Amino acid sequence: MRPLAQLDIGRRQITLEVVSLPIRTEPVADHLGGLDPETLIHAFRIMHLSRRLDDREITLKRQNRIFFQISGAGHEAVQVAAALALRPGQDWIYPYYRDRALCLALGVTPLEMLLQAVGAAADPASGGRQMPSHWGSPKLNIVTSSSPTGTQFAQAAGCAEAGRYLNKDSGAITLVTSGEGATSEGEFWEALNIACLERLPLVFLVEDNGYAISVPVEVQTAGGNVSQLVSGFPGLFRQEVDGLDFLASHRAMSAAARYCREGNGPALVHAHVIRLLSHSLSDDERLYKTAAERAFEAERDPVLTFPRWLANQGLLDRQRLQLVTHEVEEEVQQATEQALRAAPPARESALVNLYSPKQASASTQPQFEGPPATMVDAINRTLAEEMRRDSMIVVFGEDVADSSREENLCEVKGKGGVFKATAGLQREFGSERCFNTPIAEASIVGRAIGMATRGLKPVPEIQFLDYIWPAMMQIRNELATFRWRSNGGFSCPVVIRVPIGGYLNGGAIYHSQSGEVEFTHIPGLRVVMPSNALDACGLLRTALRSDDPVLFLEHKKLYREPYNRSPHPGKDYLIPFGKARVVKTGANLTVVTYGAIVQKSLQAALQVEKRNPHASIEVIDLRSLSPYDWEAIRASVAKTSRAIVAHEDTISWGYGAEIAARISSELFDMLDAPVRRVGALDTWVGYHPQLEGAILPQVEDLAREMDSLLAY
């Protein structure tokens, strides 16, 4: 019987048989999975390094020197195996918070990880803005990650799609990882559908440790096995593997990567792993895991079983093991000391990289040509002009293409959007640049985020603002945070076009709502809303040339109005964000408004002035809601000393409340009367025209408030 030797590795003890065989140096054998001994030893080193970094962060958290910790313990084997199947710097990775070993294997350093743990300004992933284990590295194509579960799936689909658009022969793939709990999110299924529809080079790695915090997999997933649930997806290559077995994991991941690189479509690897610690240090797994279950998991720890296997194969002796573990200990200690000396982010850096420092050119003078065109025609023409100018622009959404069945285009006129805003774009630019999507708003926006990450300029359309809400997580927690949370490492210049508003009659609850204030409240997102064809052209062009995400709101009622038409102002006409337009000058009252209320305010002002010849009313069209033109408001109120803020949305907690509050706060000494607001009743828009008319603000409502304020 061979003698036994025990080594302490951190807080764990490895028992190795002391063998007299030399380290293997012969050619790689099949039983090693085609990997040479040094690669296998390096894989163990990364696994052990990952665990020791977890251990060190736990110690630092208990010393109150960092503020959060979440562990990847038990996931290391499949993660390192996944990294070996990838091409760092060529493939793209969407990791999740347990992927410490994966990121280490791809090239993220222990120091970089610990800089994030302490929240240092020098943290290359976020500059101290994100919690630990929120990975990101532009140089390694590790896309900035976030806390929401499942949002990464649709983004990864967009990333894979963009990679194929940019270079279909590159062989590059995208890897997206997740725990099994996040596969309950709708975006997992939406992304699988897209990936299979488009045969994308996308690998899904599900690291199934059996628990979503405290919820066991049999409660989370029907049948307790996600790879069985996805078996019906056509073209999806599936591998279910013991994620604690490094060689089996490497075989599965290599096969999945090869399947995708060869252009066959997407792959899913379902790896069964263990979670050796609680969900995070804010959780206590002893409250829901039995002692026997925890002991059984500890016996299967890959950081202990893998070096035993290496020793049994004659690949790792006691001396080499000691050397590896000593090197790791030294590396972790040095990184810890350096990270703890690092400076925190400066207080004045809080707004840095919220928006891009690169802005579209300043306003240009229009060079009018042709007859007056409607607002929807101006939008269509501007899209076409910019698509000719920039091959990175892609337009997609529900019903935006002329016909998904291209063979029909010779016989049919084509759809081109429910309001015809995208008519003809597919015919001119092809189905790669203008295409229809499934009815899945979250994945429409998520897909756009992934495309933008790769350098495309996606212009997704959400058919009605009333249906944007499934995409709210992608917009608020992903799109708008991308630049800030990565401290400028990544940008996301998506332009989301959205028809909005009522006054068309018959739209009722689900085709007439406003709701712009929910989006102006989001830092990092530009929000604009033109009221006429000229402004639509200039603002849309600015949005398409901007380096920031933009929500471009198009009022449905204004698409084809006769009064707001304009000749084409030229293919370089731009209107900068944050610049209002005084549509009517006046001296006694300021009306601040936008959208469909601009024309109603003009009509009301004329009525009031006709009754009161001594009064003149100034009307300001904000055009840009975030940012908005405070200087224009200030200058007007300083002149008139009275102000009304009017909008179509419900009056309570509406966009006008912020403007009114700021006028009252900062311009109080200029006012001769209280600031008034005009808006819709605090209810939903009704179907019958009489009911809709009573709910939405009308000309007479505006005129009544103008009369009242002038008489104050």
Annotate 603-618 with b (16+ C-beta within 10 A) or e (fewer).
ebbebbbeeeeebbbb
> Residue 555 pairs with which residues in a beta bridge?
500
Confidence of residue 3 (pLDDT cuts 50, 70, 90): very low
Measured over the CA atoms of residue 96, residue 100, residue 106 and residue 111, the dihedral's sign is: positive
For the segment 670-693, what is each residue's pLDDT rounded down to a tens digit?
999 999 999 999 999 999 999 999
User: What integer is the mean pLDDT of 385-399?
Assistant: 98
Which DSSP string corresponds to 241-255?
Answer: EETT-HHHHHHHHHH
Tell me what pLDDT residue 18 has: 35
- State the Cα–Cα distance between residues 98 and 85, nearest whole angstrom: 18
Please give the share of the chain, as a percent, with pLDDT higher than 90.
Answer: 94
Q: Is residue 24 over pLDDT 70?
A: no
C-alpha distances out from residue 550 to 483, 519, 525, 530, Å: 13, 10, 6, 13
pTM: 0.94
Lowest-pLDDT range of 4-13, 256-265, 622-631: 4-13
Instruction: Say what the pLDDT of residue 31 is.
Output: 80
Q: Taking 50 as the threshold, does the pLDDT of residue 4 lie above it?
A: no
Other beta carbons within 10 Å of 150 = 23
CB 375 within 8 A of CB 532: yes
> For residue 213, is it left (φ>0), alpha (ψ between -120 and 50) or beta?
left
On the question of a common fold for 38-340 and 581-710, the answer reads: yes
Whether the predicted pLDDT of 25 surpasses 60: no
Dump pLDDT digits (tens) for 233-288: 999 999 999 999 999 999 999 999 999 999 999 999 999 999 999 999 999 999 99
Q: Is residue 160 predicted with pLDDT exceeding 70?
A: yes
Residue-level pLDDT at 363: 72
Task: Confirm if 80 and 116 have CB atoms less than 8 A apart.
Answer: no
Catalytic-labelled residue, pool 75, 272, 279, 511 = 511
Q: Where does the pLDDT of residue 7 fall: very low under 50, low under 70, confident under 90, or very high at 90 and above? A: very low
Tokens of 549: 């995400």
pLDDT in tens, 433-449: 999 999 999 999 999 99
Query: Catalytic: 511?
Result: yes
Residue 362 has pLDDT above 90, yes or no: no
- Per-residue pLDDT at 20 exceeds 60: no
- Mean pLDDT for 181-198 is 97
Task: Give the CATH number of domain 581-710.
Answer: 3.40.50.920
Best CA proximity match to 473, nearest among 442, 451, 499, 502: 442
Among 549, 541, 493, CA closest to 524: 549
CATH class of 369-568: alpha beta
Could you say which of 3.50.50.60, 3.40.50.2000, 3.40.50.970, 3.40.50.920 is the CATH number of the domain covering 38-340?
A: 3.40.50.970
The token pair at 208 is 């199934």
Say how far apart CA 583 and CA 533 lie, in whole Å.
14
Residue 19 — very low, low, confident or very high, per pLDDT cuts 50/70/90? very low
Does residue 604 surpass a pLDDT of 50? Answer: yes
Sheet architecture: strand order including 526-528: 434-436, 393-397, 457-461, 495-500, 550-555, 526-528, 624-626
Domain ranges of the chain: 38-340, 369-568, 581-710
Instruction: Average the pLDDT over 38-63 and give the result.
Output: 97
What lies within 8 Å, CB to CB, of 665 at 6+ separation is none
452 three-state secondary structure: helix
Tell me the C-alpha to C-alpha distance, in Å, between residue 557 and each of 98, 395, 462, 499, 605.
49, 23, 17, 9, 21
Whole-number Cα distances in Å, 537 to 400, 409, 528, 584: 19, 28, 12, 21
Section 189-216 average pLDDT: 97
Residue 355 has pLDDT above 60, yes or no: yes
Report pLDDT digits (tens) over 501-559: 999 999 999 999 999 999 999 999 999 999 999 999 999 999 999 999 999 999 999 99
Q: What is the pLDDT of residue 343?
A: 98
